[in-house]
Amino acid sequence: MTTAYIGQPIPRIDGRAKVTGDAKYAYEHSVPDLAYGFVVSSSIARGNIRQIDTTAALQLPGELRVLTHENTPRVAPKGEVVDDAKSPGVPFIPLQSDEVLFSHQPIALVVAESFELARYAASLVRVEYEAHDHTTDLGAVMDHAYGPPPRSELLPTLKSRGNAEKALAACATQIEFECRLPAEHHNPMEPFATTVVWEGDGKLTVHDKTQGVQNVQGYLCSLFGYSTDDVRVLSPFVGGAFGAGLRPQYQAFLAVLAVRALKRSVKVSLTRQQMFSLHYRPLAWQRVALAAAPDGKLAAIVHEAITGTSRFEDYNEQIVAPWSGMLYQCDNVSLGYKVAKLDLNTPGDMRAPGAAWGLYALECAMDELAVKLRMDPVELRLKNYAERDQNEHRAFSSKSLRECYRLGAERFGWSRRTPDPRSMREGEALIGLGMATGAWDAFQVPGSARCVLNADGTATVSSATEDIGTGTYTVMTQIAADTLGLPIDRVTFTLGDSSLPLAPLEGGSFTVASVGPAVKAVCEKVRERVFTLARKVENSPLAGVSLEDVTFADGRVRLRSDPSRAVAFTDAMRAGGLTAIDEETSTEASPRRKDASCYSHSAVFAEVHVDEDLGTIQVHRVVSAVAAGRVMNPRTARSQVMGGIVWGIGMALEEESVIDQAFGRFMNHSFGEYHVVVNADAHDIDVIFVEEQDEIVNPLGAKGLGEIGVVGVAAAIANAIFHATGKRVSDLPITLDKLM
């Protein structure tokens, strides 16, 4: 039996629990004496509540309480509100005043004996407003945009160099690309929900949909004055999140508020419509100007962007930096980024935040430049290939983008592309072939893990991380089994519990790169203890040898020079009189990373078919070649990239949260009207992994795959549509009315 699992396509460990229904999600937990909450949402975008009449609701039998700003205690955190994904500014906390800051803001919570009763009672709550003028149109406030305060030390700063405007003016070949991009909502299948169990002694068990159980724990403790011993947050299964769960959402606060008021357990779930009151990918305006010599060598890059934020927080993301200053070799680069206040909720991180929008503009601009130069788009990118990160003036830890271009183009059949727009046809369809480059940060942040090896040869490894569908259960089990040298069915990995060792938020494609090294390190500590015990076994074949002389496989410590000479873990522990070996450890970012730039890269190729008469678009084929370090599990990795490609198709052609400016409200707040990609929209998708040997990025050599799969896809499709039709539609989504 093999115990070499890293790099193998192991099926999902949690797959059976999910398909059989054994996996319980946040709203599915039932306890005795459970009450149900339903949120009442505001119908205006800005103003004040003059009166909120709960009389009719309170007269219903079985209705327990209506919580409003009039009867809710004010929370007064002693320090800052804990939220690892927060933005600069003052976070929104529900029911703390009569002020309305955005449409669909929660303004009351109705609690009843059943969900149906709570929902009906909520419909009886009458609200009178004093409405104020609102602005939800980014174009109307761009003149008031400003440079936001830095949001996180993880995010790069803007670094211009040379004199881009002068170089731009001096060049005969130049292009300008401008685009306006809509808000997009995350729309995971599982709505946000929280079940709070009142334990009777003032302690709470919180089942929450989140991407960070310890973040939710810290958030609730900071607001309500609990100690971490009083609040345990559990989230072992998450039905998708895509960044929406990085910040604690308001249903968790409201559920705890109700529990404190009623001294009984309460569950609260948001409706699909209320999911549109949460965070979203921000509205954005971008302008990219490029200048090049006749041979295609870039002389200047100008990239500026403005995105919307709320009136109470300064949300910002890396929409311009580092992409336009890092991806292509150029001595003259000007970068600018501002935000503008809108009467909407604060935007939030949505899969590949910043890069998804920023690389769309840059890569469409590069395609425009290739057209003007009459140069092959791949050739243009290779002509300006950056061997070093020019933003940070240092080498990459690894970069196999050239190989991505080569393998992706070869698999896709790029050589059959004819250069002129509208030059390829198949029956009634115009054929377009387009491509784009993708990049994403390869972060590593601190993480911790615990390993308990039992005398029966089984092990439990744990960390307070999450699995939002990415395969964390599986990959961490592989790392643990591989490192310990145990059969994979003898290893259990547990997560999604705030009482487990410290873990970062599940986001940014850094879970494997951050928690994985901690799992590896703690398992190494355990096996060192096993080795020490194995040497002391009576007549041990390992007596007198060093750790470097042995291997760990099949639950045994084996002599490297003669694997038949071995001591079983169980025998070593029995001889040592131990029933368990229990270790915990923490890891931080490798110090070698300070002298290197760490990124994943991709080359995306797309083929579209456009009906010449109707303007309908079909993404016929996508090939994505990805260089993301060492791939832990090709099966789950491919799933991640495929999911990203599907997202990119939606970005390009379908997704748009439409605002009625008169009401300041997202109008298409349902799956019937907010269009996402379905099976009929996703055709042939091919993923190529260009594995990299990277000893700098982290001890596993892994870079993460959650974001790199989506960046570049929308641009590749947009470029393919231009090639098919000769018409450049810059504003997303590209719908047939824009194309016609």
Active-site residue numbers? 707
Which of 283, 623, 691 minimizes the C-alpha distance to 438? 623
- 298-309: strand order across its sheet: 173-181, 284-292, 298-309, 333-341
Residue 633 to residue 1: CA distance in whole angstroms: 19
Residue 96 to residue 675: CA distance in whole angstroms: 35
Residue 388 to residue 331: CA distance in whole angstroms: 13
Contact 722, 372 (CB under 8 A): no
**What are phi and psi for residue 31, nearest 5 degrees?**
-140, 160
For 546, residues 6+ apart whose C-beta sits below 8 A from its C-beta are none
Which of 293, 290, 294, 316 minimizes the C-alpha distance to 305? 316
Which of 469, 84, 105 minimizes the C-alpha distance to 247? 84
Which residue bears the tokens 């390869």? 442
* Helix 472-484 and helix 511-536, axial crossing angle in degrees, nearest 10: 30
Residue 91 to residue 215: CA distance in whole angstroms: 14
What are the residues facing 671 on neighbouring strands?
none
**Residue 551 CB neighbours (<10 A):** 14
* Helix 634-653 and helix 713-725, axial crossing angle in degrees, nearest 10: 50
DSSP state letter for 264:
S
For 737, residues 6+ apart whose C-beta sits below 8 A from its C-beta are 615
Q: What is the dihedral of CA 662, 666, 670, 674, to 10 degrees?
A: 100
Which of 663, 669, 674, 671 minimizes the C-alpha distance to 103? 663
**Residue 410 CB neighbours (<10 A):** 14
Contact 500, 464 (CB under 8 A): yes
For 420, residues 6+ apart whose C-beta sits below 8 A from its C-beta are none
- Largest Cα–Cα distance in the chain? 86
